[in-house]
Amino acid sequence: MSSIPSFGVGTFRLTGQTVIDAVSTALELGYRAVDTAQIYGNEAEIGQAVAASGVPRSELFLTTKIWTANYSRSQLVASLRASLEKLRTGYVDLTLIHWPAPGNGVELPEYMEALAEAKALGLTRQIGISNFNIALTRQAIDVVGVGEIATNQIELSPYLQGRTLAAFLKEQGITVTSYMTLAYGKVLDDPLLARIADKHQATVAQVALAWALQLGHAVIPSSTKRANLASNLLARELVLDADDMALIATLDRNGREVSPEGLAPVWD
C-alpha cells in the first residue's frame, strides 16, 4: 500500500513571492507535504522556501507532476532531473503524470515506462497518475505492475464525488488525492455545508476537507492567507457523524471545474 500523507499544501496558480510566502507559512504551521507541478512554473520558488525553512528533507514529502511536453522516453527523466534541481533536492517523494493527454503523440505505455525508470533511478520514491479514469488507470497498472501506483490525483469535491472511480482506486490499493476539494470556493456558500459547519463550530472549508479525509482521501488545499492555511489544518481534528456524511452525499452533482480539451480523458 502506498504511503501518501493525508494532508498537504497545494500550489496551483501560486507563483513568485506569493508561492514562497505560502509555502514558508505552511511549513511554519506544521505542513510537511507540498504539491507542485512542472507546468505551475513555481518549483524553483518552492525549492527556495523549503531550503530557507530549515525543515529537514527527511520530514518533507514533495510531489511534482510531469508536463505533457516531457512525456517521451527521451525527455521524461531529464525533465524530472531539471525539476529536482529547481526544488534543490536529490529526489522527490512522488512524481505524477499530470494528465493522460490522449492524442499527445506519446502513448501511455511509453510515459509510464519512463516514469517507472525515474523511480528505478532513485529520482522519485513513489510514482502515480493524475486525472486518469478507470480504463486508463487499468492500463497504467498493466504497464508498471500492481502496487506501483501510489495515487491518482483527481478533482473531487462535495459537488463532484467521483464515487465509481474512488471505489475502483480503493479496490486497487491506490490512494485518492482530492484536488479542488472546495470547488474553487463554490462550496463555501453552500447552505447545507454551512449548517453542518455551525453544528460543529467549524468553517465550511473544514467540513469539506474533513469529508474528504473521512472517505480516506488525501487533500492538498492551497491558500495565500495564513489564517486559512492554519484553519484548513484543523480539518484533521473535525469528526463528522454519519448524518453529516449522508447529507454531504446528497450534494453530488457532477460539478466538474477542470476538464481541458486534449488533456482530459472521457470521465467515468
pTM above 0.85, yes or no: yes
pLDDT of residue 118: 98
- Whether residue 98 is annotated as binding a ligand: the answer is yes
CB 47 within 8 A of CB 89: yes
Q: Where are the domains of the chain?
A: 9-183+217-222
d(CA 268, CA 92): 30
CB 93 within 8 A of CB 218: no
Q: Hey, which residues does 121 pair with through a beta bridge?
A: none
pLDDT of residue 257: 96
Q: Scanning the structure block, which residue is given the C-alpha cell 471505489?
A: 167
d(CA 47, CA 60): 12
pLDDT of residue 267: 96
CATH superfamily of 9-183+217-222: NADP-dependent oxidoreductase domain (3.20.20.100)
62-101 pLDDT tens trace: 999 999 999 999 999 999 999 999 999 999 999 999 999 9
* Burial group, residue 74, by CB count within 10 angstroms (0-12, 13-18, 19+): exposed
- C-alpha grid cell, residue 204: 465550511
pLDDT of residue 229: 98
DSSP helix/strand/coil, 205: helix
Active site residue 71: no
Chain centroid to Cα 110, Å, comes to: 23
Rg (CA), the chain: 18
Amino acid at 56: P
